């Protein structure tokens, strides 16, 4: 005889999973698009129209000086801009009234004695705390999609520890260039596989030691480093063809995740 309580439990569990994977509400589709296309999000009021607070900024009728009241995407590089005046090149004429707060979705434009942003779009900041919660949820969806994209490209996703690093011995000599990756090799001791198939408990991964602009964001494995490695086989995405070598690589900053992200990585791996 079927246990009715068990059936009910299974139904409730399925509904819970479905709810967790539910798409964002329709009103957040516009928000998601703006978050996807922008890097710096903040609210503020237009102080001056047709003006800039930096001499290097070309001014027209869509240039405005904005005083920031709240930062939605904190940046270690830019520091805390709350209360500061910045210049924004708007997409359309300022339509806000004096002192009226608006959320600006922007990307960096000109850096110098100050910073100027290029507007992607804007929204009204009704109920700031509630709006921040919506932005935070949208930012999480963006981060999840970026990580999922890396997982989808990967041949192997594995929980592993670095047990050894060494200089990579190449059959060919790489050209002399500032963009030379200075390839090294790391031996990974595998504890579990999330995606892909692998024979044995060890895997050799190639990584760039160079801090050149092409490679600076690539993970630089250290002995005893343990986490989740998102590995491509014979990558074709980074560096010129003359610098590429066959093997497993993790070249994007997202390709190494701490172990506490395992449930998230498994969820994104399974998600279609």
CATH assignment at residue 231? 2.40.50.120
pLDDT at 167: 93
The answer to whether residue 12 is domain-embedded is no
pLDDT at 269: 97
pLDDT at 15: 44
The total number of structural domains in the chain stands at 2
Whether 249 and 193 share a structural domain: yes
Q: State the pLDDT confidence band at 3, using cuts at 50, 70 and 90.
A: low
The answer to whether residue 9 is domain-embedded is no
Interval 135-154: pLDDT, tens:
999 999 999 999 999 999 99
Secondary-structure breakdown of the chain: helix, strand, coil percentages, each rounded to the nearest 5: 25, 35, 40
Tokens representing residue 262 in the block: 């395992």
Say if residue 155's pLDDT is above 80: yes
Q: State the pLDDT confidence band at 97, using cuts at 50, 70 and 90.
A: low
CB 86, CB 108: distance < 8 Å: no
Say if residue 6's pLDDT is above 80: no
Average confidence score pLDDT of the chain: 89
Whether 136 and 162 share a structural domain: no
Whether 261 and 161 share a structural domain: yes
Whether 134 and 163 share a structural domain: no
Interval 244-261: pLDDT, tens:
999 999 999 999 999 999
Range of the domain at 205: 154-171+178-270
Closest CA to 145 of 238, 254, 22, 250: 254
Span 62-83, average pLDDT: 93
């Amino acid at each position: 005889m079927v246990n009715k309580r068990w059936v009910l439990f299974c139904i409730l569990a399925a509904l819970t999973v479905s709810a967790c994977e539910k798409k964002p509400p329709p009103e957040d589709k516009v928000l998601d698009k703006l978050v996807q296309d922008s890097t710096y999000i903040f609210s503020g009021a237009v102080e001056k129209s047709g003006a800039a607070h930096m001499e290097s900024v070309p001014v027209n009728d869509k240039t405005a000086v904005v005083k920031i009241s709240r930062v939605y995407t904190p940046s270690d590089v830019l520091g805390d801009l709350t209360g500061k005046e910045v210049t924004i090149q708007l997409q359309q004429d300022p339509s806000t009234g004096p002192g009226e707060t608006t959320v600006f979705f922007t990307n960096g434009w000109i850096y110098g004695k100050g910073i100027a942003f290029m507007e992607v779009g804007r929204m009204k900041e009704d109920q700031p705390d509630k709006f921040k919660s919506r932005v935070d949820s949208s930012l999480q969806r963006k981060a999840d999609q970026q990580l999922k994209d890396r997982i989808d490209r990967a041949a192997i996703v594995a929980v592993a520890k670095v047990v050894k690093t060494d200089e990579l011995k190449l059959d060919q000599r790489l050209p002399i260039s500032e963009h030379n990756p200075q390839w090294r090799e790391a031996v990974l001791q595998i504890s579990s596989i999330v995606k892909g198939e692998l024979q044995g408990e060890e895997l050799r991964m190639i990584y760039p030691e160079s801090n050149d602009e092409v490679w600076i964001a690539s993970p630089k494995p250290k002995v005893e480093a343990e986490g989740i490695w998102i590995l491509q086989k014979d990558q074709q995405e980074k560096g010129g063809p003359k610098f590429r070598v066959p093997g497993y690589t993790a070249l994007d900053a997202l390709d190494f995740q701490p172990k506490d992200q395992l449930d998230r990585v498994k969820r994104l791996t399974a998600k279609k």
